[in-house]
Amino acid sequence: MRYPIAIEPGTDATAWGVVVPDLPGCFSAGDTMEEALIQAEEAVTAWIETALDAGQVIPKPSAIDALRAAHPEFEGWLWGLVKIDPAMLDNTLERVNISLPRRVLHRLDARARSAGETRSGFIARMAIEDREPATT
């Protein structure tokens, strides 16, 4: 899956800016074009993960020509694509096998019970809640 990005060329005094028109509020920058592209990929990934965690629908990528026509504010900017692994959108349940000391497992189960959750649900919620805030 590839999301179109609008790239504002940088100079010696300004960073390269990147906007992802299909993902409202998703943007990034870098001191070089290469850095800006890497930052854009990280911003798109963080945006999608945050939206999924909030139960939001992820917009499908648009065609670059359609975005050019719809966004005259990007006149003179460069256009590119950021590749995103579609697996990150996959909510299919997967069984995993983990090893934990019994004392840790006992503590985990007690916390899950007190939260009214299953062990799996508790672990999943903790992983989502403890994620570092996105920097886009």
How do the domains of the chain map onto residue ranges?
A: 2-89, 93-136
How far is it, in rounded angstroms, from Cα 5 to Cα 29? Answer: 12
Residue by residue, DSSP assigns 6-55 as EEE---SSSPEEEE-TTSTT-EEEESSHHHHHHHHHHHHHHHHHHHHHTT
The pLDDT, as a whole number, for residue 131 is 57
Range 2-89 classified under CATH 3.30.160.250: yes
Helix, coil or strand: residue 57:
coil
**Which pLDDT belongs to residue 135?**
46
Give the pLDDT confidence score for residue 132 in this predicted structure: 53
Cα 78 to Cα 87: distance, rounded to the nearest angstrom:
28
What are the pLDDT digits (tens) for 70-84? 999 999 999 999 998
Residues of the chain with pLDDT under 50: 134-136
Check residue 26 and give its pLDDT.
97
- Kindly state the percentage of the chain with pLDDT values over 90: 72
